[in-house]
Structure 1
Amino acid sequence: MKTALPAICAGLLLAACASTAPPSVGYSRNLEPIPGSITYGGQPRTRLTKAPVGSIVPHRFRDSFGRQVSETYVIEPDRSLRLISRRIDYDLMTDR
Structure 2
Amino acid sequence: MKHALIAVLSALTACAGVAGEPQALPGSLTYGGRVIHSPYRAGTVVKNTFLGKFGYRVFETYVVQPDGTLKLTAQSTGPDFLWQ
Which TM-score band (shorter chain)?
Answer: 0.5 to 0.7
The 4+ residue runs of structure 1 with deviation greater than 4 A are none
Aligned to 1:55: 44
Bigger proportion of residues as helix: 2
Report what 1:42 is aligned to: 33
What is the alpha-carbon distance in structure 2 between the residues aligned to residue 43 and residue 82 of structure 1? Answer: 11
For 1:28-56, what per-residue CA distance to the aligned partner results, in whole angstroms no more than 9, with x for missing partners? Answer: x52110111110012345x212x110000
For the aligned residue pairs, the C-alpha RMSD in angstroms reads 2.6
- Relative to its length, the structure with more strand (as a share) is 2
Q: CA separation in 1, counterparts of 2:58 and 2:68?
A: 23
Question: Does the CA-based 8 Å contact 1:70-1:86 persist in structure 2?
Answer: yes
Contact 2:41-2:64 at 8 Å conserved across structures: yes
Find the counterpart in structure 1 of residue 24 from structure 2. 33
How many correspondences in the alignment?
69
Q: What SS is found at the alignment partner of 1:41?
A: helix
1:90 deviates by: 4.0
What TM-score, normalized to structure 2? 0.66
If you compute each CA radius of gyration, which structure gives the higher value, 1 or 2? Answer: 1
Provide the C-alpha distance between the structure 2 equivalents of 1:67 and 1:32, rounded to a whole number of angstroms: 16
